[in-house]
Amino acid sequence: MKRPRSKADKQARLQQILGILDDLYPNVTCALNHSNAWELLVATILSAQCTDERVNKVTPGLFAKYPTIHDFAAVKPEVLAVDIHSTGFFNNKAKSVVGAARKILRDFGGEIPRDIEQLLTVPGAARKTANVVLGSGFGIASGVVVDTHVGRIAARLDLTREESPVKVERDLIAILPQERWISFSHQLIHFGRGICVARKPRCGQCPMAELCYAEDKLA
């Protein structure tokens, strides 16, 4: 497919991409299991450099042992580190989770802030985490979550030519309607796990093959 040059052609192509994603994943949700925004924050912190599948195996027992934010605030990081050991980088993650609980109790009355600037002051809540919590926890489209799948596939589809997550997010925010910011990330993540797999993309099964400009696209 020829690369579109005009703004109208680029917008038409984007609408094609969004339509295909809607057909593939019409009711997409966050892959991290949670029952409230605090649990989602914890799960998202644990998901750094770890699969969602692994996190979802750890969190049921974790939330049973520490059912409230007060319980997390009271535990020593070195004790929590043992409970989350299998998620990797457990010492840093434990410090972040305990620090987040204490910060939220001390400064926000125990409620997860719904403002991204406030949420970014919470330990462990960098921009990606904050976007996940606000989007999937409260339905607030504060930005576009850019994980490895989103960054990789957005580049393959020529929706960005940037590499850093912050710059990729900036490009996606510029072209996507705000009402698509939350669902788009979830859809690309599912697409990256099921079809556009990093190690061996399933191009022969891909409904977006005609829209893809990736140099390593398989015939």
Q: What's the average model confidence in pLDDT over 13-29?
A: 96
pLDDT at 5 over 80: no
pLDDT score, position 3: 73
- Looking up tokens 């309607």, which residue turns up? 177
Q: Is the pTM of this model over 0.85?
A: yes
pLDDT in tens, 166-211: 999 999 999 999 999 999 999 999 999 999 999 889 999 999 999 9
Q: Which of 165, 171, 175, 147 is nearest to 31 (CA)?
A: 147
**Do 36 and 138 contact (CB within 8 A), yes or no?**
no
Identify the architecture of domain 37-138 in CATH. Orthogonal Bundle (1.10)
Q: For residue 1, name the pLDDT band (cuts at 50, 70, 90).
A: low
pLDDT for the residue 6: 84
The pLDDT of residue 214 is 87
Q: Is the pLDDT of residue 122 over 60?
A: yes
The Cα 88–Cα 106 span in angstroms is 28
CATH 1.10.1670.10 assigned to domain 7-29+144-211? The reply is yes
By the 10 Å C-beta count (0-12 exposed, 13-18 middle, 19+ buried), 42 is classed as buried
CA-closest candidate to residue 116, choices 102, 91, 133: 133
Q: Per-residue pLDDT averaged across 29-52, rounded?
A: 96
Q: Where are the domains of the chain?
A: 7-29+144-211, 37-138
Burial environment of residue 117 by CB neighbours within 10 A (0 to 12, 13 to 18, 19 or more): exposed
- Report, as residue numbers or ranges, the catalytic residues: 128, 147
pLDDT tens, position by position, 74-121:
999 999 999 999 999 999 999 999 999 999 999 999 999 999 999 999
pLDDT in tens, 131-153: 999 999 999 999 999 999 999 99
pLDDT in the model for residue 106: 98
